Each structure stands twice: as C-alpha cells, then as structure tokens.
C-alpha cells in the first residue's frame, strides 16, 4: 500500500488543479482508490443500465454473464488509465498532448467536457427525484439542492471526493445488501435464472452496456490517483481501481437485471420509485432515498470535477500556463454545475431522453482517444513523458500532432456504421441484430494504426525524457 510521502498533512481544500503534484505533496493509500470507485458505481444509474439488458430483450442468466464479461474488459481499460496517475502526477487529459499536440488535444477534450456535462445532468434528474421524495418537495427543488451539494464537494476537491467515496461505499453496501434480501424474499431467483434463451444479439448488448459504462470513466480516472506517491505500484493501482469499479458496477447491474425481470413493464420510467418500493415504505424508504441521492453525489462530483479539469486543460494549452487560482476554480465549477443543472431542469420531463441519446453518441468520440492514449503510454513511449514539455506549444510535443489526430479521426469514422442510438444508427447495425459494437471497432482499429504509425518516432522522444525535475522516466 502507498503511504504518505510529504510531512505536511494534505489540506481539506485542494490547492492544486491541473498542475504537476510534487512528491512532497503526494499522499493517500490504495484502499481509497478501491472505495472511491466502488462507491461511484453503487448507484441508481448503474442499476438502470443493468436493467436495460432485460428491458431490451435479454434473459436474466445470459444478461448477468454478458454484463460481467463487459465489466472485466471495460474495467481493465479504465484501470490502465488509472495507473498513469501516480506515475505522471497529472490529470488524465493533459497527457493527451503527447499524442495530439498541446493545441490538438483540445479536440477530444472538448467532446469529453460535453459528455460529462450530460452525464451530470442526467444523474441530477434521478437524484432530484430521490431528494424530492425524501423531503416532500418538488423534483425541481430536489435538483437544485443536489446541485448545491455537487458544487461544494467539487470546490473542495481531491481529498473530500475520496472521503465521500468511502462513505458512499459503506452506505451503498448496506443499502444493496438490504435490497438484495428483499429481492430474494419477493422473487423466485432460481426460476428467473433457469429461464435461458441465449441469443448473440442480447448477449453482446449486455457486454456492450457494461464495457461502455466502464470505458466512460477513462478520460478522468487518473485525476483521482495522481496524488499517490510516484513509487506506488502500477499493478496495485490497476487492481485497486479496477476491482472497485467492476465490483460496484456489477453488484448494481445485477440488482437492475433482477428488478427488471421481476416486474416486466413496471421498471422503465419509474426507476427510483420502483427500486425504493422493493425495500418498503416509511423510514426504510426514506433511508433508501437518502442512499440513492448520496450515491449519486459521488459520481456526479467526479463528472463535475473531471469537467473542470478538462476545461482548465483546454484553456491552459492556449494560454501557456497550467496554474489555476482558487477563485477561477470556484467560478468554473459554478458555471459547469450551473449548466448541467439548467439542462436537468429543462429536460427532466421530455428533452432528457433525446439528450441521453446524444451523450451516448458522444461515446464514439472518446473510445479512439482511449485507444491512442493507452497504446502511446504503454507501448510507444513506454511510460516516459516529458512533463514540462506538456505545457510548451513550441516544445517536443508541438502544437498539433497530425499522426495522433489522423488516427483519432479514422477511429471515429470507422465506428459510424456500427453505432446504434436514437440519434443515429449505422447501416450495419441491422445485420448485427441491432447491437452496437462500435466501441470494439473504436478500440481495435486506432490501437493498431497508431502503433504502426507512431512507433518509429518514439525512440528519439524517449531518449530526451529524463528522470530529473518533472520529467517522467
């Protein structure tokens, strides 16, 4: 386990933003990584995502198997990103400047900002419903209360986010143990599992739901491991983050599958009320509503904090500085959460469904980013980055890296025939039984292409990346 390096206790309010974390300020232990990502996944949106496997035609048994396969595959990808945090001491998206250039990295980062803004908005709607039921106020009032909590947690930053993750994990475990006990009492789980009708389309749908869920954390997962001491084992970081995220998501999605199978047609459209209804009424229901709202605080704070990091990264790339004042941080967080809250209030009744489709469509734009980033870090530059050069448009990584940008564009385009959303459906989806496998294409093609094109230029860059100062070797 990693132990604190600096003699100074980590402040409750984070001083750093997107700048390099010096060794003297490194702190934290790997169990905090596990609890953060478990708590982030033990929440209502993960339950709903798992339920979709059954709502859209799958049986219980093969849906559970498919979800587990997707969790393991997608969780491995997101955990590989997490392992970069202690090594680099920087937020995840800044390292994209190696692959795309100091200016060019703004292209995928901007799309990631929009996506996490949308995730925050959709999660805020569900949380607003839970708070409204808990306090007896309108959903809109609940949304505003939830937004205030997100602003506070995001402004405090890294350490408070990890504390929230620990509390969310404990609350989530208690709530989910109770809900599973109620499911066992109300339904014949053995009968549900025995009803098996395997089809490739339904199985692949389950795999895709879980894998996409995990991969979506990739653009900011290293943001929450970057304070760990640089000597922290990459393998242990990978396991702590990956196991926490996979375990939390699979538990939540299993509950969603069983809940949807218990009452066909009754789950969709009233997800929060239905899940709480499994537990009972009165005090128990109030506690479950509180658990749902608190569970969403963790993931929504991650989304808002990640959005802040992305916006700061874009601005700093063109401004030539990576320092962000506390005042600028507060203003940025207010604008980000304010925008997400406005979308949630406007779209909570009708617009939100279409907006969710738009957000899912955006997934196709950062799957190639994930492929390029991982191949470059682990196989091309082999974990050797020149950190000071990441802030210099005239430095080694340049303004625009046409190799990375071209591969990224190809990675987006090759997915188009395989995408299946309400916003857009590719021409090959029908031949695949309606299953969206774009994320598989978006990982494989850019990975191979980038490695073939970039490997010849990497040795020279590696020779210049030293272990002195902020350079990472």
Question: Within 376-417, where are the H helices?
Answer: 402-413
pLDDT, greater one: 374 or 349: 374
Instruction: Name, in order, each residue with C-beta under 8 angstroms of 86's C-beta and a sequence gap of 6 or more.
Output: 2, 26, 225, 226, 228, 229, 230, 231, 232, 234, 237
- Mean pLDDT of the region 116-144: 86
N- to C-terminal Cα distance for the chain? 22
CA distance 273 to 353: 18
Examine residue 388 and state whether it is found in any structural domain, yes or no. Answer: yes
Give mean pLDDT, residues 426-455. Answer: 91
Q: Does the residue 1 lie in any domain?
A: no
Is 269 within the bounds of a domain? yes
Structural contact between residues 390 and 97, judged by C-beta atoms closer than 8 angstroms:
yes
Position 296 scores a pLDDT of 83
Task: For the chain, give the number of residues.
Answer: 473
In this model, does residue 465 exceed pLDDT 70?
no
Domain hosting 177: range is 23-464
Total domain count, the chain: 1
How distant, in Å, are the alpha carbons of 68, 228, 298 from that of 177?
Answer: 19, 31, 19
Q: Report how far residue 259's alpha carbon sits from residue 440's, in angstroms, rounded to the nearest whole number.
A: 29
Question: What local confidence, expressed as pLDDT, does residue 114 receive?
Answer: 84
Per-position b or e across 334-345, b if 16+ CB within 10 A of its CB: eebbeebbebbb
Q: What is the pTM of this model?
A: 0.89
- Whether 226 contacts 25, CB under 8 Å: no
User: For residue 245, what pLDDT is reported?
Assistant: 97
Structure tokens at 268: 């969709």
**Residue 2: inside a domain:** no
In a domain, 219, yes or no: yes
Cα separation of 88 and 366, whole Å? Answer: 21
* DSSP H helices in 157-233: 158-186, 189-194, 200-215
What CATH number corresponds to the domain at position 34? 1.10.4160.10
Whether 318 maps to a domain, the answer reads yes
Kindly report, residue by residue over 423-432, the tens digit of the pLDDT. Answer: 788 999 888 8
- Domain contains 17: no
4 lies in a domain?
Answer: no
CB burial readout 199-222, b (16+ within 10 A) else e: eeebbbbbbbbbbbbbbbbbbbbb
């Amino acid at each position: 386990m990693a132990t604190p390096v600096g003699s100074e206790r980590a402040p409750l309010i984070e001083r750093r933003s997107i700048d390099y974390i010096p060794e003297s300020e490194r702190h934290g232990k790997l169990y905090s990584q596990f609890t953060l990502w478990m708590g982030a996944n033990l929440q209502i949106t993960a339950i709903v995502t798992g339920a979709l496997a059954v709502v859209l035609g799958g049986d219980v048994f093969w849906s559970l198997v498919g979800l587990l396969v997707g969790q393991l595959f997608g969780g491995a990808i997101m955990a590989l990103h997490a392992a970069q945090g202690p090594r680099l001491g920087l937020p995840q998206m800044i390292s994209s400047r190696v692959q795309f250039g100091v200016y060019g990295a703004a292209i995928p980062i901007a799309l990631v900002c929009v996506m996490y803004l949308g995730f925050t908005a959709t999660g805020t709607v569900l949380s607003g419903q839970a708070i409204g039921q808990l306090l007896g106020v309108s959903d809109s009032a609940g949304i505003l209360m939830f937004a205030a909590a997100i602003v506070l947690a995001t402004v405090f930053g890294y350490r408070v986010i990890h504390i929230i993750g620990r509390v969310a994990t404990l609350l989530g475990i208690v709530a989910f143990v109770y809900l599973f006990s109620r499911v066992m009492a109300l339904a014949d789980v053995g009968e549900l599992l025995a009803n098996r009708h395997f089809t490739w389309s339904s199985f692949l749908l389950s795999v895709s739901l879980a894998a996409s869920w995990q991969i979506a954390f990739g653009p900011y997962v290293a943001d929450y491991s970057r304070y760990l001491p640089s000597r922290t084992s990459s393998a242990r970081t990978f396991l702590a983050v990956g196991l926490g995220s996979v375990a939390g998501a699979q538990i939540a999605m299993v509950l969603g599958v069983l809940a949807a199978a218990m009452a066909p047609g009754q789950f969709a459209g009233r997800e929060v009320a239905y899940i709480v209804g499994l537990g009972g009424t009165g005090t128990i229901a109030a506690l479950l509503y509180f658990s749902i709202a608190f569970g969403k605080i963790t993931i929504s704070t991650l989304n808002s904090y990640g959005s802040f990091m992305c916006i700061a990264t874009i601005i700093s790339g063109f401004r030539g500085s990576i320092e962000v004042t506390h005042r600028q941080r507060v203003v940025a967080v207010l604008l980000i959460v304010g925008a997400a809250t406005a979308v949630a209030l406007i779209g909570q009744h009708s617009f939100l469904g279409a907006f969710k489709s738009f957000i899912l469509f955006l997934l196709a734009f950062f799957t190639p980013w994930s492929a390029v980033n991982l191949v470059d870090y682990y196989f091309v530059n082999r974990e050797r980055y020149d950190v000071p050069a990441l802030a210099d448009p005239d430095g080694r990584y340049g303004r625009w890296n046409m190799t990375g940008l071209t591969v990224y564009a190809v990675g987006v385009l090759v997915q188009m025939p395989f995408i299946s959303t309400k916003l857009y459906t590719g021409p090959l989806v029908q031949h695949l039984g309606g299953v969206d496998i774009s994320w598989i294409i978006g990982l494989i093609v850019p990975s191979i292409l980038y490695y073939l094109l970039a490997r010849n230029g990497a040795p020279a860059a590696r020779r210049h990346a030293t272990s002195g100062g902020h350079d990472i070797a």
